[in-house]
Structure 1
Amino acid sequence: MSGASDATGDASGRQGGAWFDRVRDITLQLTAWPSVTGSSGEAAFGPRLHGFLGELACFRDRPDQLRLLPAAELPGCSSVAALVRGRGRRTLVLAGHFDTVGTENYGALAPLACDPFALRAALREELAGAATEAERLAARDLVGEDFLPGRGILDMKSGIAAGIAVLEAFAREEAPEGNLLLIATPDEENRSRGMRSVRGDLPALAREWDIDIVGAINLDASSDLHDGSAGRSVFLGSVGKLLPFAYVVGRPAHAGYPFEGFSASLAAAEIVREIEGNVDMAESIDGEASAPPVCLSLADFRERYDVTMPDRLWLAFNILTQRRAPAEVFALFEAAVGAAMQRAVDGYAASAARFPGAEPVRHPPKILTFAALRELAAGKGNGGPDTARPAATEEDDDNPFAATPPLVDALARRAGIEGPAVVVGFAGLHYPAVHLQPDRAADRALEAAARLAATEIAAEQGETIGIRQFFSGISDMSFLGHRPDGLELVAANTPSPDFIDRPGAELSTFPVINIGPWGREFHQKLERLHAGYAFETLPALLLRTARRLFETTGNR
């Protein structure tokens, strides 16, 4: 490898390769179109991409193989489906999202965020006085040609660009085996409503086009702050995500007489201490560990100052999964909350016993699920179960930490919940974990094809391409090619309907893996793409995987 440091990798050595210029040019075009989630640019991107593809030789005379698919629950937004036919019905999907996070963190350089070369020049100048190790690494990366910065260039427009170049190359082959279908979607950075809408469109689309989807490759990016060996990988699955919450109810008391009540703050602190960073709640498979739980939200419900102890607090945790079903995660979370609450109650009573004049009153803690709370509140209402859900707030519906706490608080007050108590449930959208299953022939075929392709391309290009079990980022993979388990439990315990996934009755099922670009610091000001891998190795690997898959899945 060459470059300014051991951590830069090698891109410049592959410039001028079979793929480099074409994938770079497409990447620059896609990056130049701003498409921040929820913006007019995101809405415009689908039609723009549809028009761009329509001008390519592989679609110019085949407009019936291009589709704009309106995205459900996203007015004005659309996904794009583009099919290149070979022989037979077997079809491999290449999937990516085109929305990006915002550009606010670029500060004064925000106008350059979608212009990678201009941004690189500006960042080179700005990083000349790099003060932190992260800035010094970025300065080393950007001084040469190995890395290109830009909003969305890594996450993940270069992945879509590689997919487009693969479609073009596949179309130029003489009657190749199989078919390739590119799917590009909005809203991955929010609630994956683009992909969740497309999965409902796929069965009808497959019937209309008379294709049999035998697998999919998600084209999302991975991060590697070292030599790139972790980023240059085929991922056989993706971690999942649950966002369980704990709504803590104490007993109010004046701050001058704390032992007349029960401190919700103490209970919340014990819950955080029990769960935050708890490695026993993390999963590890084949030496790959998912991150332990992290508290993402801790807030009270005060609207003004007073000296009463907080009696209601809200916490929500990020929990990543590999194999565990929602029921198992929920049981672990509920048990951890229960242990923490008992410790808080016992500790508070012990403190009261040592304080002059205080009476050590013990209140057994109650733990109940949101589903149980809803039933309890329904029994207290005047209009039956339908009154158990309060009206949706007018706050940001895209933010589970804005939408969910008021719903839980309203039901708890209606139900007359007294502390010490905790209501547990799910605050946000469930992203199911996915992984190839060795007992399924289609999964084995896709894994074998990807492994063989990785071995061949690595040897041809003189670098390593690893095989890893789990893609560590939350992505659209969770909603492509399968029907997850545990949907009923999650739905019953999720207060806001905006964060409940309800797939249709008909879903196409097929194995999914991730093969995408790598770089550093996506979503950040210094987001940057390793150009050589994205523009040369990645498309070669994608096309080779498709060829090997169609060779091994037989004639259908």
Structure 2
Amino acid sequence: MYLSCYDEVKKITEDLIRVPSIVKTSGEKECAKKIMEFYDELSYFKDNPEYLLMQQTENDEIERYNVIAMVRGTKGESRRTLLLMGHFDTVGVDDFGSIKEHAFNPDILPELLKKLNLSDDVNKDIDSGEYMFGRGGLDMKAGVASHMYLIKYFSEHPEELDGNIIAMAQCDEEDNSHGAISCLKILKEWKEKYNLEYISAINADYSTPYHEKDENRYVYYGTIGKMLPSFYVTGKETHVGQAFGGLDPNLIVAEITRLMDLNPDLCDEAGGEVTIPPISLKQSDFKDIYTVQTAISAYSYYNFFVHRMSPEDVMNKVKGKAVEAFDNVIEYLNHSYKRFCEIGGHVYTELPWETRVYTWDEFYNELATIHGDRFKIYIHNFAKELNEKNPAMDLRKFSVTVVEEAWKWAVDKSPAIIIYFSSTFCARIEMLGESLREKALMSSVEESIKFVQDYSDKPIVTKMFYPFISDMSFMGMSDSRESLKVLENNMPAWGSKYNHPIDEILEVDVPVVNIGTYGKDGHKITERLHMRYTFENMTNITYNTIKRLLD
């Protein structure tokens, strides 16, 4: 069956866009309330209030909520349960500049953007009337709206389901995934309380063209994984008048960035699909005032996508780049110093620097060997108290602060690089079609796409990895528990500010697919979603997939 859902999904989407829900603001709470109000009006939840929950996130520095709704089918007595998921938080709007007060107004925004004359493509899409503009519409309130519509539909037609559906509208996807992680607790509770069997998860995050002439619409099996390898670099301070007497940590960090940034050698390939190479997300020293002394230390971190690489694989690769960077800097400095001596008539002697690179695990164990339990107890308590005193501290800043504190215990203070992981771990999920649940999901999606294709004027294509970070990473894992030990041992924040919820994830552990919104320019002021595909085609692919899985 093909649902006539365009107008209703469009209306829900507009209502959600108009609620500013920038991550780490009170807007996340307000948007959750808006979603809850929608569900509260449905007769099904008036009769079954226990199946609707507005859940406050746990271990979070601010007050925000998820909304979780379940419809139980009446066609049979199957325990099978399908998960629908999507996030309603958005990135900020400072990029909108003078028109940022209208960033959440899909009615006014197109004309304001047209006056800016940003590009022919944007103007063409405005004139076409096929796109809805507004922060968060594409990424991904329209996806949440589609799931809200489907919960409403199935609440009125539970006889179509031999099984159950749970829709999770989640906060905080754009930062540390407190929403998705907190949802795991409810999924575990409901699994036990209602004797549910989770079979698969459908996310509705956005998809976009790969190039200007790409007209395909995309559905993705599985998801990319993401880590944040980080580098703490100590140098040797000196006066600028004696520049060759020190070692500038900014120079080492710059060389690390040159070797890491957009380097195709660091891409990960699986199933004929290739990840985007790493890119720098932070590069800074620790000087907070101007002086003519060079920096003592600096740090940087890099986005690193994976399809098959484990944390150990990533650590080995980036450690190799760190060694190469250090070697290159020493060679460059000696060459520069030699030329300077020749020009200035000075006697050249080789500079004293030697390459020194540690992983956090190696550095921690070296200090523990030297100082024993005194160091281990101290750094444990330091991290614990740091989190207690500064619960809102950014995870990346927290991690480097712990590393910086540990460095104070180093006996050898000669320049070094310490590599660690400093962000929420997003697990890769690779679907090979080997398990019965994977086969069932993939065949149901393929059949649904084939049916909906007749209603779409553009090709609908499947690929094997969702290419952006998403909360699907908390619905399962392709990495073994043992392989994550390398992650744990190289995260300074592990056990104090961060723990990856492995046990909770394994309670769900389902194959995933992203049947999501389609549009252009996610996270840009020209963010826009294609209405016909998103409100109608996408929703019907999801609907028919649900029907095939729970028939």
Structure-1-length-normalised TM-score: 0.88
Q: Deviations over 1:36-95 (max 9, x none)?
A: 212222123323322211212443322222122221123532212111122322111110
Q: Deviations over 1:262-316 (max 9, x none)?
A: 3433322332222222211111234322111112211112233333333422121
1:152, 1:251 → 2: CA distance? Answer: 46
1:369-384 counterparts in 2 under 5 A?
369-378=359-368, 379-380=370-371, 383-384=374-375
- Number of aligned pairs? 529
Residues 428 and 477, structure 2, Cα contact 8 Å, conserved in 1: no
Name the SS for the 1:214 alignment partner: strand
Residues 429 and 478, structure 2, Cα contact 8 Å, conserved in 1: no
Residues 370 and 494, structure 1, Cα contact 8 Å, conserved in 2: yes
Structure 1 residue 382 displacement after superposition:
8.8
Structure 1 residue 483 displacement after superposition:
7.5
Q: Paired residue for 1:80, among 67, 89, 99?
A: 67
Structure 1 residue 539 displacement after superposition:
0.9
Counterpart code for 1:501 = H
Residues 350 and 360, structure 1, Cα contact 8 Å, conserved in 2: no
The reply on whether 1:392 has 2:392 as its aligned counterpart is no
Structure 1 residue 196 displacement after superposition:
0.7
1:464, 1:440 → 2: CA distance? Answer: 28
1:215-364 counterparts in 2 under 5 A?
215-224=200-209, 226=212, 229-230=215-216, 232-354=217-339, 355=341, 356-364=346-354
The reply on whether 1:45 has 2:5 as its aligned counterpart is no
The reply on whether 1:144 has 2:101 as its aligned counterpart is no
2:309, 2:373 → 1: CA distance? Answer: 39
Q: Deviations over 1:87-144 (max 9, x none)?
A: 32211111011111223333333333222113234334x24xx1x4xx3221111123
Name the SS for the 1:365 alignment partner: coil
1:539-550 counterparts in 2 under 5 A?
539-550=539-550
1:310, 1:236 → 2: CA distance? Answer: 46
Counterpart code for 2:141 = K
The reply on whether 1:118 has 2:103 as its aligned counterpart is no
Greater Cα offset, 467-476 or 166-175 = 166-175
Residues 229 and 466, structure 1, Cα contact 8 Å, conserved in 2: no
Greater Cα offset, 283-292 or 343-352 = 343-352
2:457, 2:285 → 1: CA distance? Answer: 56
1:329, 1:69 → 2: CA distance? Answer: 35
1:496-511 counterparts in 2 under 5 A?
496=493, 497-504=496-503, 507-511=507-511
Q: Deviations over 1:326-371 (max 9, x none)?
A: 1100011111111221222233334444523231134331111112
1:210, 1:396 → 2: CA distance? Answer: 36
Counterpart code for 2:190 = L
Identify the residue that residue 525 of structure 1 maps to in structure 2.
525
Q: Deviations over 1:414-454 (max 9, x none)?
A: 32442331111112222111121332211121111111211
Structure 1 residue 398 displacement after superposition:
5.3
Identify the residue that residue 490 of structure 2 maps to in structure 1.
493
1:110, 1:315 → 2: CA distance? Answer: 30
Residues 69 and 81, structure 1, Cα contact 8 Å, conserved in 2: yes
Name the SS for the 1:140 alignment partner: helix
1:332-481 counterparts in 2 under 5 A?
332-354=317-339, 355=341, 356-378=346-368, 379-380=370-371, 383-389=374-380, 390=382, 391-392=385-386, 397=392, 399-481=394-476
1:27, 1:77 → 2: CA distance? Answer: 20
1:118, 1:361 → 2: CA distance? Answer: 63
Counterpart code for 2:206 = A
Identify the residue that residue 105 of structure 1 maps to in structure 2.
95
Distance 1:223 1:413, change over 3 A: same
1:452, 1:175 → 2: CA distance? Answer: 18
Residues 481 and 510, structure 1, Cα contact 8 Å, conserved in 2: yes
Distance 1:32 1:255, change over 3 A: closer
Identify the residue that residue 71 of structure 1 maps to in structure 2.
57
2:214, 2:337 → 1: CA distance? Answer: 56
2:254, 2:27 → 1: CA distance? Answer: 42
Structure 1 residue 457 displacement after superposition:
0.8
Structure 1 residue 377 displacement after superposition:
4.2
Residues 206 and 518, structure 2, Cα contact 8 Å, conserved in 1: yes
The reply on whether 1:167 has 2:166 as its aligned counterpart is no
Counterpart code for 1:50 = M
Q: Deviations over 1:354-400 (max 9, x none)?
A: 52323113433111111233344454489441212545287794534
Residues 482 and 508, structure 1, Cα contact 8 Å, conserved in 2: no
Name the SS for the 1:363 alignment partner: coil
2:79, 2:501 → 1: CA distance? Answer: 29
2:46, 2:259 → 1: CA distance? Answer: 60
2:373, 2:312 → 1: CA distance? Answer: 32
2:99, 2:249 → 1: CA distance? Answer: 44
1:277, 1:419 → 2: CA distance? Answer: 30
Counterpart code for 1:542 = T
Name the SS for the 1:303 alignment partner: coil
Structure 1 residue 514 displacement after superposition:
0.7
Which ranges of structure 1 fall in alignment gaps of 5 or more residues?
1-15, 552-556
Counterpart code for 1:387 = Y
Residues 222 and 466, structure 2, Cα contact 8 Å, conserved in 1: yes
Counterpart code for 1:344 = V
Structure 1 residue 495 displacement after superposition:
2.2
**Over aligned residues, Cα RMSD in angstroms?**
2.5
Distance 1:305 1:67, change over 3 A: closer
Which ranges of structure 2 fall in alignment gaps of 5 or more residues?
none
Structure 1 residue 195 displacement after superposition:
0.2
Identify the residue that residue 10 of structure 2 maps to in structure 1.
24
Residues 433 and 442, structure 2, Cα contact 8 Å, conserved in 1: no
Identify the residue that residue 554 of structure 1 maps to in structure 2.
none
Counterpart code for 2:185 = G
Q: Deviations over 1:198-255 (max 9, x none)?
A: 113212112222321110101111223646634x211012111111112122233333
Residues 181 and 501, structure 2, Cα contact 8 Å, conserved in 1: no
Structure-2-length-normalised TM-score: 0.89
Q: Deviations over 1:16-37 (max 9, x none)?
A: 9811111111111222222221
1:499, 1:31 → 2: CA distance? Answer: 31
Greater Cα offset, 356-365 or 177-186 = 356-365
Identify the residue that residue 512 of structure 2 maps to in structure 1.
512
Residues 234 and 298, structure 2, Cα contact 8 Å, conserved in 1: yes
Greater Cα offset, 524-533 or 485-494 = 485-494
Structure 1 residue 406 displacement after superposition:
2.8
